[in-house]
């Protein structure tokens, strides 16, 4: 060969051929053409593979295996071994999300003229399948049709023959023989593997690790085949049989634990399997299992051992990140993240986590340094804008709204007139000494968002808060929050703030309606809702309950507000204390009423029209008194089910009608009014003609009830609402 030739990601550096049938003296007068069709035999073949070339070649082929996009691939060369790590790319500007990562070893063993590759020691996190299955899929995709797979073993047949068939016909020569050409050397020099074959040479001696990996792969062939096909049940059963044949084998135990870790409720069983193998728990899987069973100290120690032993810097950094996320101490979390970033300085998830930890510790300059680093990593103005926006939101979430202003100004530098950045800057300015300027910026942001048809709800809510809290002008604030749609993420807080501000103006009836809508929205939330979403709405529900109890004299409605809050956070201290207090007062009132009404006892809470007295009153969560009427309990459960279904599909009129009937049967007049009013707002004329009479009847019942209980002002308000409804729906 005159020069090296590229062959895929390989580089053929030498191929020496002899023509065994030639006899001296040789007549060369015919030139090269005279010898083209003579068949020679290869006496020496050498090729090399650099780790960087392997990364460039393999990474696009791994798309859709580790993650949906092309992963970031790292490959390290070792003696007859490769260590690979594929990690989902998380851009600095991206929002937090799962970032799958897998690392594994590939051992090379010479088998005459064939090269055997064995996948072993697979580990990872956030993967769509067990790590060994992902590792086998990666190798299979990278090798393609060049290799034959059996379990975790891949066989590359006669590479020298394939190379000769590629090179010689292209040069116009006959393909030479490659018989008796074993691999004599499989060595690593720096980040490059060098593979050499010599005719009738001695095969290269395998490493001890490669021999052991091939042994266990031979035992686990059937199990690995099932795992590769995605049949976890069959694979686990086969691994268990192999575990009996090779007791306490660490690699088999890890593969069983990797399967069990993906099934809920098997953490103890997986840890027991690892303990039986008497292996060190230094793996990400073991650390996550310890977290699942609540053993924080063991989890932190396991993550640390896994990170220290992991050669792949990206996966090592993820282990330190997991330790930081598990600890409850912000200072300790910052130290874990320092170690993560020392291993992988470009790990954006770790840097964002450290910025948040530093914010929590009040280390604002250090947190800003992390943001500047992320901004430098981001590519292009749009990406840098997103980094600054995300940082500004993090500052706001940490309660540092005024300090966030500089970050939003920075975001506007990259994308001028961005409504969200203007809104953030407006909020920051509104917290300063010149709130009017902040309100003006927020108004501009809302105008821009509306003109561009961007979702304006978040900006409208921020503007309403600024007007109410900083300019002390409640009516325009109420006007802004009333425009926020019920299907937007801001709807619950908007309804709660509307209730608070209406109460501040003395409009307790309007506040009650707003709080009822708040309760409906919160009832549809999942208990797994994050604290930053749940906390404000729970506080607003506690306010709503206080209003119902003290101003509107409706402790049953107060109890329902608190019940919904406790469904979201059962241990919320203020909501729990208020719920018990209201429940106890209802029980006492019912007991006193049953006793005939003694002079020294406070009068029982009023019961609105359409609501029947129960003895004792029902407590929605059953914390103090269980429901005394099985039918009522069934109706309550039905109401909850119908509410969830209606939130999932607000257009389902049949569900809405059944829910209204259930509320009416239990005498829950205010909730019925809130439901009917909400349905009327978006109803077609034909549908409004059906709903309006029911709403009028409900208003009449609650007004009559208020009259009977001596609350003439409240009854008059209900009748005013009824007259307004008649005018809108004659």
* 69 and 36 assigned to the same domain: yes
Structure tokens at 286: 């073991």
- 201 with 255, same domain? no
Asked if 170 and 90 sit in the same domain, the reply is yes
Give the residue-averaged pLDDT of 359-368.
93
Say if 615 falls within a structural domain.
no
Are residues 105 and 199 both part of a single domain?
yes
How far apart CA 515 and CA 501 sit, in angstroms, is: 11
| Nearest residue to 545 (alpha-carbon basis) of 531, 563, 526, 532 | 563
Confirm if 490 and 457 have CB atoms less than 8 A apart: yes
**Rounded-to-integer distance, Cα 469 and Cα 718, Å:** 29
Given this model, what pLDDT does residue 301 score? 92
Element (H, E) at 15: strand 10-18
Tell whether 612 is covered by a domain. no
Task: Tell me: pLDDT of 473 over 70.
Answer: yes
Nearest CA among 647, 723, 664, 713 for reference residue 692: 723
pLDDT by residue (tens digit) across 264-296?
Answer: 778 898 998 888 887 665 689 999 999 999 899
Per DSSP, helices labelled H in 344-470 are 348-360, 364-377, 381-397, 405-414, 419-430, 435-451, 457-465
pLDDT bin (cut points 50, 70, 90) of residue 596 is: low
Helix (H) or strand (E) holding 85: strand 81-87
Choose one of 175, 203, 219: the last residue of a domain: 219
Same domain, 230 and 270: yes
- The answer as to whether 213 is a domain residue is yes
Between CA 645 and CA 640 the distance in angstroms is: 9
Q: What is the pLDDT of residue 436?
A: 92
3-state secondary structure of 446: helix
Give the chain's mean pLDDT. 85
Find how far residue 662's CA is from the centre of its chain. 37
Give 187-201 pLDDT, tens digit per residue. 888 899 999 999 888
**What's residue 609's pLDDT?**
37
3-state SS string for 216-265: HHHHCHHHHHHHHCCCHHHHHHHHHHHHHHCCCCHHHHHHHHHHHCCCCC
Rounded to whole angstroms, the Cα distance separating 479 from 460 reads 10
Domain boundary (201, 219, 237) is at: 219
What are the pLDDT digits (tens) for 88-143? 998 888 877 778 999 999 999 998 889 999 999 999 999 999 999 999 999 999 99
**Quick one: 236 and 290 in the same domain?**
no
Residues 430 and 539 in one domain: yes
pLDDT: which is higher, 97 or 621 = 97
**Which one, of 290, 330, 275, 283, lies nearest residue 309 by Cα?**
283
Report yes or no on 621 lying in a domain.
Answer: no
182 and 112 in one domain? Answer: yes
The answer to the question of residue 613 being in a domain is: no
Cα 261 to Cα 287: distance, rounded to the nearest angstrom? 11
Mark which of 202, 219, 236 sits at the end of a domain: 219
Same domain, 670 and 641: yes
pLDDT of residue 423: 92
Identify whether residues 274 and 317 lie together within a single domain: no
User: Which pTM value belongs to this model?
Assistant: 0.71
Which residue blocks in 551-629 are alpha helix, DSSP H?
555-568, 573-594
For the chain, how many residues are written? 730
Average pLDDT over residues 147-163: 92
Whether residue 234 contacts residue 264, with contact meaning beta carbons closer than 8 Å, is answered with no
| Domain-located, residue 616 | no
In-domain check, residue 604: no
Q: What per-residue string of b and e applies to 650-666 under the rule 16 or more CB within 10 Å gives b?
A: eeeeebbebbbebbbbb
Q: How many domains does the chain have?
A: 4
500-519 burial: b if 16+ Cβ within 10 Å, else e: bbbbeeebbbbbbbbbbbbb
pLDDT (average), residues 708-712: 72
Domain extent, residue 704, equals: 630-728
Judgement on whether residues 244 and 303 belong to the same structural domain of the protein: no
**Considering the domain boundaries, does residue 608 fall inside one?**
no
DSSP state of 93: T
Same domain, 88 and 179: yes
- Give the residue ranges of DSSP H helices in 473-609: 474-481, 491-504, 508-523, 531-550, 555-568, 573-594
CATH code for the domain of 664: 1.25.40
- Alpha-carbon distance of 718 to 713, in angstroms, equals 9
Assign residue 541 the CATH number of its domain: 1.25.40.10
Residue 350 clears pLDDT 60, i.e. is over it: yes
607: confidence class by pLDDT, cuts 50, 70, 90: very low
- pLDDT, position 289: 92
Does residue 619 surpass a pLDDT of 50? no
155 burial (CB, 10 Å; 0-12 / 13-18 / 19+) is middle
Q: Could you say which DSSP state residue 171 is in?
A: G
* pLDDT number for residue 308: 93
């Amino acid at each position: 060969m005159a020069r090296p030739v590229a062959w895929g990601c390989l580089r053929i550096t030498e191929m020496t051929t002899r023509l065994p049938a030639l006899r001296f003296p040789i007549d060369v007068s015919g030139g090269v053409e005279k010898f083209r069709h003579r068949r020679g035999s290869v006496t020496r073949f050498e090729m090399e593979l650099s780790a960087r070339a392997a990364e460039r070649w393999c990474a696009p082929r791994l798309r859709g295996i580790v993650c949906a996009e092309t992963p970031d691939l790292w490959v390290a060369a070792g003696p007859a071994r490769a260590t690979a790590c594929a990690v989902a790319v998380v851009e600095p500007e991206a929002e937090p999300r799962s970032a799958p990562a897998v690392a594994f070893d590939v051992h090379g063993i010479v088998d005459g003229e064939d090269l055997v590759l064995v996948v072993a020691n697979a580990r990872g996190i956030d993967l769509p399948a067990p790590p060994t299955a992902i590792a086998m899929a990666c190798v299979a995709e990278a090798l393609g049709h060049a290799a034959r797979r059996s379990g975790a073993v891949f066989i590359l047949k006669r590479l020298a023959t394939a190379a000769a068939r590629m090179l010689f016909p292209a040069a116009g020569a006959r393909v030479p023989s490659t018989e008796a050409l074993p691999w004599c050397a499989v060595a690593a020099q720096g980040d490059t593997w060098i593979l050499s074959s010599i005719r009738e040479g001695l095969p290269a001696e395998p490493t001890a690790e490669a021999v052991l990996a091939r042994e266990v792969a031979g035992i686990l062939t059937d199990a690995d085949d099932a795992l590769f096909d995605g049949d976890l049940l069959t694979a686990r059963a086969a691994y268990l049989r192999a575990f009996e044949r090779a007791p306490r084998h660490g690699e088999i135990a890890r593969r069983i634990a990797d399967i069990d870790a993906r099934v809920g409720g098997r953490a103890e069983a997986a840890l027991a399997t690892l303990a039986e193998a008497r292996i060190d728990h230094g793996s990400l899987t073991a650390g996550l299992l310890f977290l699942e069973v609540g053993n924080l100290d063991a989890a932190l120690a396991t993550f640390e051992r896994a990170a220290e032993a992991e050669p792949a810097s990206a996966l090592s950094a993820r282990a330190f990140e997991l330790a930081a996320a598990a600890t409850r101490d912000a200072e300790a979390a910052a130290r874990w993240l320092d170690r993560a970033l020392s291993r992988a300085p470009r790990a954006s998830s770790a840097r964002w986590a450290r910025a948040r930890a530093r914010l929590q510790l009040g280390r604002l300059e250090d947190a800003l340094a992390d943001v500047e680093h992320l901004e430098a990593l981001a590519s292009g103005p749009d990406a840098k804008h997103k980094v600054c926006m995300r940082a500004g939101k993090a500052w706001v979430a940490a309660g540092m709204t005024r300090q966030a202003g500089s970050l939003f100004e920075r975001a506007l530098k990259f994308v001028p007139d961005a409504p969200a950045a203007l809104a953030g800057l407006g909020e920051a300015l509104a917290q300063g000494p010149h709130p009017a300027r902040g309100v003006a910026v927020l108004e501009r942001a809302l105008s821009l968002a509306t003109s561009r048809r961007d979702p304006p709800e978040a900006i409208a809510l921020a503007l309403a808060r600024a007007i109410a809290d900083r300019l002390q002008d409640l009516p325009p604030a109420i006007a802004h929050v009333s425009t926020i749609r019920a299907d937007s993420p801001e709807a619950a807080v908007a309804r709660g703030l509307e209730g608070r501000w209406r109460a501040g103006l003395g409009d307790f009836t309007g506040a009650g309606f707003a709080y009822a809508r708040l309760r409906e929205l919160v009832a549809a939330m999942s208990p797994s809702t994050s604290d930053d979403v749940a906390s404000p709405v729970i506080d607003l529900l506690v306010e709503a309950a206080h209003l119902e109890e003290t101003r509107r004299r409706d402790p049953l409605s107060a109890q329902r507000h608190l019940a919904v809050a406790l469904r979201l956070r059962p241990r919320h201290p203020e909501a729990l204390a208020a719920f018990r207090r209201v429940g106890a007062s209802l029980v006492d009132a019912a007991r006193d009423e049953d006793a005939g009404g003694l002079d020294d006892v406070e009068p029982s809470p009023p019961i609105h029209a359409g609501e029947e007295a129960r003895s004792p009153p029902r407590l929605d969560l059953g914390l103090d008194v269980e429901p005394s009427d099985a039918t009522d309990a069934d109706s309550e459960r039905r109401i909850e089910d119908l509410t969830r279904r209606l939130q999932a599909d607000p257009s389902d009129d049949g569900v809405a009608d059944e829910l209204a009937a259930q509320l009416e049967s239990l005498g829950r007049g205010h909730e019925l009014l809130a439901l009917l009013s909400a349905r009327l707002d978006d109803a077609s004329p034909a549908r409004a003609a059906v709903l309006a009479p029911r709403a009028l009847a409900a208003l009449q019942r609650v007004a009559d009830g208020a009259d009977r209980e001596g609350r003439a002002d409240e009854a008059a308000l209900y009748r005013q609402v009824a007259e307004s409804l008649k005018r809108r729906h004659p």
